[in-house]
Amino acid sequence: MNEKVRNERALREAVLKRLYLAFLEEGLYRGVVSKKDLSSEFKAEGVVLERNLEYLLEKGLIRMHKIEDLISITPEGIDLMETGEARGLSEVAASLARIEKLLRSILEAMKKGNRP
């Protein structure tokens, strides 16, 4: 893993940790941090900060508020910080859909007298 990737991963982890601390201090919806504060705290500016925040947003780990560029952690982000595991609802839904499809095919095969 090259240095740039390591640095950006460390930045994302630091941002999540900072937002988690804000959650512990203020609660889920009041524990917010501004992009400006994150930028100065972690010495990350412009596109570097933005792309890492976008990544965390796409993963469902943070939410971005329109008011004053405020950012907070989501329940999924909290779970990741507390357990080291994060599974988005879309991943769970996709897994359940695959299981349902498999079970339907097994039932159909059984109805026809075939072994699955």
- Can you give the pLDDT at residue 102? 85
pLDDT confidence band for 115 (50 / 70 / 90)? low
Average pLDDT score over residue span 76-96: 72
- In this structure, the dihedral spanned by the alpha carbons of residues 83, 88, 94 and 99, taken in order and rounded to 10 degrees, is 20
CATH of domain 3-85: 1.10.10.10
pLDDT at 67 over 90: no
Whole-angstrom Cα distance, residue 59 to residue 96?
19
Whole-angstrom Cα distance, residue 51 to residue 65?
16
Q: Identify which has the larger pLDDT, 95 or 49.
A: 49
Whole-angstrom Cα distance, residue 62 to residue 53?
8
Q: Identify which has the larger pLDDT, 44 or 95.
A: 44
pLDDT confidence band for 1 (50 / 70 / 90)? low
> Is residue 111 packed enough to be buried (19+ CB in 10 Å), middle (13-18) or exposed (0-12)?
exposed
Sign for the pseudo-dihedral over CA of 104, 110, 111, 113:
positive
Q: What is the pTM of this model?
A: 0.68
pLDDT confidence band for 55 (50 / 70 / 90)? very high
Average pLDDT score over residue span 59-63: 94
Domain residue ranges of the chain, discontinuous segments joined by +: 3-85, 87-116
